[in-house]
Amino acid sequence: MINKSSQVGNWINLAGYDVFVLEETGSTNDDAKNYSGQIADEFVVWAKHQTAGRGREDRYWQATEGCSLTFSVLLRPIEKEKEFLSRFTTLGALALTDLLSSAYALDAEIKWPNDVLIREKKVSGILTEITWRGSSIESIILGIGINLKDRAFTNAGKLRFPATSLEAEGINIESMQTLLEKLLAALQLRRQQLGSAQFLDDWNQKLAFKDKFMPIKQYQGKTEMLCPGSINPDGSLNARDQAGNWRVVHSAEFSASSIISSSTSSSSTEDCSS
C-alpha cells in the first residue's frame, strides 16, 4: 500500500475513489503506472496542470493551466471483465456522455475509438494503457482530458481534429472537483454494465458520423473514405466504403477533412447503418 504521508500532493476521496491531487505533473498516466503495484482498485491521479500529456501514437501535448480537467483512473479488472478489455476506453467515454447529457443537457457522441465530441468537435480524449505483472494484467489506466475553456487548445491551427470546450458550449464549470466527482460516479455506474448488451447498444447509439464518409487512416498506413456503421461486441468498427462494401476496422484514426454525407456520395445513397 502507498504511504500517503510520504507523497507530495493531497489525498481526497471522491465517489468512493482515492484521489491523489497534484498541482502539476508531467503525465497522470505515468504517475498512475508508478503506483500500479501498490494500490487497490479505483484509484485516481488528478493534476491541475499537466505538462506532458500523452495521446495515441505517443503524441505529447501540454495542457493550459486551469483550462482542462486532466486525470487518470486506475482500475483492476476482475476476471469477468477481462473478456471486455476493448470496452474500457468506451467506459470512460460513455460515462462522460452520460454526465454531459444529465447534468448539462449536452448531446455528446463518441468518435471511435477514443474521443468524445459535441457538434462534431472534440471536447475530450481518452488514452487507455495496460500494465502487466508477468503475463497477467495488473491494471488498466484511463487517461482522460476534458476541455473546459477555449484556452485549453491554444494551438488550434495544429489540431488533427476540430476542438470545442464546455465553455464554448455555454457551460461554465465553477468547480473541477465537483465535475470530477460526478464523472467518477458515472464511471462506476457504467462499469457495472461493461459486459452487457445495454453497454454495446448505448455505444452504438452514441457512435459519431454514422451518416458520413470520413478519411480513416488504418495503421497499415492506408487512408480511405469510410462510413461508420456500428460497433461489434469486440469493439471493432463496421464501416462501409464508397463502393458499398462493409469492412471490419480494428485500429484506425479519423480525420476531420473532407467529410462527406453518405446521402451525397456518388457511389451510394443508402444510410450507412443499413
- Domains of the chain in start order, with CATH, are 4-206 (3.30.930.10), 212-264 (2.30.30)
Mean pLDDT, rounded, for 206-219: 89
Q: What pLDDT shows up at residue 267? A: 37
**pLDDT tens-digit series, residues 174-202:** 999 999 999 999 999 999 999 999 999 99
Ranges 7-11, 12-16, 172-176, 268-272: which has the least confidence:
268-272
Query: Shortest CA distance to 210 belongs to which of 114, 126, 110, 115?
Result: 110
Q: What is the distance between the alpha carbons of residues 89 and 110, in angstroms, rounded to a whole number?
A: 11
* Residue 5 or 75, more confident: 75
Does 106 have pLDDT greater than 90?
A: yes
- Three-state DSSP class for 116? strand
- Asked if 88 and 199 touch (Cβ cutoff 8 Å), the reply is no
User: What pLDDT, on a 0 to 100 scale, did the predictor assign at position 58?
Assistant: 53
Binned at pLDDT 50, 70 and 90, residue 268 comes out as very low
pLDDT (mean) for 35-63: 76
Contact 162, 120 (CB under 8 A): yes
pTM of the entire structure? 0.88
The amino acid present at 175, given as its one-letter code, is S
How confident is the model over 211-218, as a mean pLDDT? Answer: 88
